[in-house]
Chain A
Amino acid sequence: MRTITAQQISDAVAALCVRANKELPEDIVRAMRFAAAEEPWPLAKSTLGVLCENIDAAAERNLPVCQDTGLACVFAELGQDVHIEGDFTQAVNEGVRRGYAEGYLRKSVVCDPLRRVNTGDNSPAAITVELVPGDELKLTVIPKGFGSENMSRLAMLKPADGVEGVKRFVVETVQAAGSNPCPPIVVGVGIGGTFDKAAALAKHALLRPIDQPNADPYYAALEKELLEAINALGTGPQGFGGRTTALGLNIETMPTHVAGLPVAVNISCHVTRRASVVL
């Protein structure tokens, strides 16, 4: 049994909120620079050039890459041999409050979905805890912007719809999103489970670096095929036209019911952020 204190958790979450918003993950930066180099359509190429400049400008001027510094989605892989001293949820939310204040990040959370008063400190986080073997705690913060979140969709397909139905739904979702989610986008796809699990899988798919294919060759091939289909739509960077509509597409799956085929598509923008630490 190992003890991790609420203070350690708050400190870690605060630092991750700031880091995630100011430095994009290496795989995303690599994909952006590659896309800018390879894009054949002139307006799309210059647009990607500006978006790459923005990544550098944020680093040079100590600014967030995007002004929508998101709702803090916090994922915890909690070792079952860890004892947490203090209140875990409060510790995470305290970390979010501190990170968003100290990092001069935007406070984008309202305390009630209909009555809509800003909480003023970007808390609370959307927390997902997974129990794993071991005595460590891995924390990942994904600050999720809502320009892209709003374009996400879920469908309860019929088993008869099969893989063709899944492909159609994913591509249609991206096409309907058009310019709104700030393309080039990153697409998280969840297939299977239940209504709620499919959505969680789609969000979870955004945790995986986009240069790391699904471990199952069947789904790795489907990821590649869907990415190609999306990049044939012509939407392009910012929706101004061009090849680069998506930088990457990840699929996560789980077993499902004999009668169902849930599919969820969680869309993320070119500012797909994630930062992790192991305590």
Chain B
Amino acid sequence: MEHRLETPIDKEKLKALRAGDMVYLSGTVYTARDAAHKRMMESIDKGEPLPFPLEGSVIYYVGPTPEAPGQVIGAAGPTTSGRMDAYSPRLLDLGQPVMIGKGLRSPAVIEAIVRNGAVYLAAMGGAGAVMSASVTNAEVICWEDLGCEAVRRLTVKDMPLTVAVDSYGGNIYESGPAAYLASLKGGK
């Protein structure tokens, strides 16, 4: 199945997504990696405002390469999501609906996804050039001192993504390999 999603995210629309489906995302995406997540937690603890609203927003775990003159952004593929596992449940519980990254998530994150009707989307890991092609605008909006880890606001058009964990807990990293191995046993 293929779906089109636009920001701000309406959680009702996430219900149609199933692990393994393709999603083409358009709108605004915020970048945050390890260091930015740590600072967001500190801001929440202190009751300070966050760099962007959580409700309806998409977080992309990416640290792009610097743009050369004439480029909107450099290479911009996803980083390993598991390093954000310690922070994600709290953000999901505060209403943040969509995460983009690559790789395995912890049981606690998957539980938080199901609890909140959120989804985890996978971008193509290591495909920095392909992923950057869907970015039409990029600007640093906070914590510039973090360099490649600064928070950026990206405008994306038809960003190609795969549903990795759907709002029911379906997980392509389990079901995908299992289906392939079952096909071998079935003699197909």
Contact = CB atoms under 8 A, between A and B. Distances in A.
B51 interface: no
B76 interface: yes
Contacts of B122: 179, 238, 240
A235 interface: yes
B129 A269 contact: no
Contacts of A105: 65-66
B177 A58 contact: no
B103 interface: yes
A62 B68 contact: yes
A234 interface: yes
B181 interface: yes
A182 B180 contact: no
A20 interface: no
Contacts of B176: 43, 236, 239-242
Given A67-B128, A68-B79, A104 B183 contact: no
A43 B20 contact: yes
Interface in A167-214: 178-180, 182
A118 B147 contact: yes
B66 A104 contact: yes
Contacts of B173: 178-179, 239-240
Contacts of A241: 172, 175-181
Given A69-B65, A240-B162, A63 B104 contact: no
Contacts of A79: none
Contacts of B180: 41, 44, 234, 236, 241-243
Given A179-B104, A238-B102, A116 B35 contact: yes
B41 to A, nearest CB: 15
Interface residues of A, number: 47
Given A67-B65, A118-B146, A147-B79, A238 B125 contact: yes
A134 interface: no
Contacts of B132: 63, 67
Contact of A54 (B74, B79, B130, B179): B130
B128 A54 contact: yes
A100 to B, nearest CB: 9
Contacts of B170: none
Interface stretch (A45-53, A80-88, A152-160, A249-257): A45-53
Contact of B133 (A57, A69, A104, A270): A57
Contacts of B162: 238, 240
A3 to B, nearest CB: 35
Interface string B142-153: 000011110000
Contact of B125 (A64, A150, A236, A269): A269
B77 interface: yes
B102 A64 contact: no
Interface residues of B, number: 47
A61 interface: yes
B35, B103, B178, B180 pick with most chain A CB within 10 angstroms: B180
B27 interface: no
Contact of A67 (B62, B80, B82): B62
Given A180-B82, A240-B172, A63 B181 contact: no
Contacts of A66: 75, 77, 126-128
B9 to A, nearest CB: 23
A179 B122 CA distance: 11
Contact of B65 (A106, A180, A233, A243): A106
A242 B173 CA distance: 11
A44 to B, nearest CB: 7
A116 B82 CA distance: 19
A63 B74 contact: yes
A270 B126 contact: yes
Interface of A: 41, 43-44, 47, 50-51, 53-54, 57-58, 61-69, 104-108, 116, 118, 120, 145, 147, 150, 178-180, 182, 233-236, 238-243, 269-271
8 contacts: A43-B176, A47-B124, A53-B130, A64-B75, A106-B64, A180-B82, A182-B102, A240-B176
6 tightest A-B CB contacts, nearest first: A241-B176, A182-B125, A241-B180, A57-B129, A234-B177, A54-B127
